Amino acid sequence: MKIFALECSGAQASAAFADGRRVAGEFYLASGQKHSRTLLPMVEALLKTGGFSLADADVFAVCAGPGSFTGVRIGVAALKGLADAADKPCFPVSALETAAYPFADRTAETVCAVMDARCRQVYTARFRAGERLTPDEALTIDTLGEQLQSVEGPIRLTGDGAALVFEALSPAFGSRLLCAAPAERYPRAAFAALLAEEKLARGETPVPAGKLMPVYLRLPQAERELQKKTKQKEQTV
């Protein structure tokens, strides 16, 4: 199975093409430039340099969230447009599960994927030996720390919030809390493609491009502020 994948749920962006269990090519950027400017040119460069064609892909995959609201929206919208034009089905994968994917062989560790949600909050999920233990959810760092107290054995943090959570929780957990190296901790399109292939092989089904939706877990900041102002106004009436 050939899978084309995009990932830009955080500050980094990547595009990849996988053929079976092999990553045939990947372009990755952490330049700090806006995804709206770099993502599609990166896709074009990947296809041209690798000699790939979107028409050859069986499925288009994307990290559909959670993560940066802007990044998730751009990634999902870009993949929907490309998939619709190529008449290909789409497969959404969790950015958290994608961040944990490189550690699927760590059977002695619980992998805790964390994405920075700002204001001392994170998006998080836990995995062990490649199996999901908890759903994707939004928690404060303090609440996450309370939940991790019940976890036995080493805990490896990964994702773009790993360093933040490690700094906050390591005094309470000591050497039991591990932090993935920077080169390993971010979601990548290559991992998204391989993860999608595994899930499809287990019988999960893709969706039409028109039904692909982003996963935010909480409202964007502008909407939260609007709700707060509306509630305050109602209370003063």
pLDDT tens across 49-87, in order? 999 999 999 999 999 999 999 999 999 999 999 999 999
Whole-angstrom distance, CA of residue 233 vs CA of residue 237: 7
Q: Which two tokens stand for residue 144?
A: 């996450």
pLDDT of 228 strictly over 90: no
At 218 the pLDDT is 83
Write out pLDDT tens, residues 86-142.
999 999 999 999 999 999 999 999 999 999 999 999 999 999 999 999 999 999 999
How far is it, in rounded angstroms, from Cα 89 to Cα 31? 30
Closest by CA to 43, choosing from 88, 72, 73, 83, is 83
Band the pLDDT of 236: cuts 50, 70, 90.
low
Rounded CA separation 178/181 (Å): 9
CA dihedral 78, 198, 134, 116 (to 10 degrees): -40
**pTM of the predicted protein model:** 0.91
Length of the chain: 237
- Kindly report the average pLDDT of the chain as a whole number: 93
Q: Return the SS3 of 216.
A: coil
Q: Tens digits of per-residue pLDDT, 153-181?
A: 999 999 999 999 999 999 999 999 999 99
Domains in the chain, CATH or no CATH each: 2-95+186-226 (3.30.420.40), 97-179 (3.30.420.40)
Pairwise CA distance, residues 116 & 234, whole Å: 32
Tell whether the model's pLDDT for residue 227 goes beyond 50. no
Tell me what pLDDT residue 90 has. 99
pLDDT at site 226: 46
Q: Would you say residue 237 has pLDDT above 60?
A: no
Does residue 234 surpass a pLDDT of 70?
no
Percent of the chain with pLDDT over 70: 92
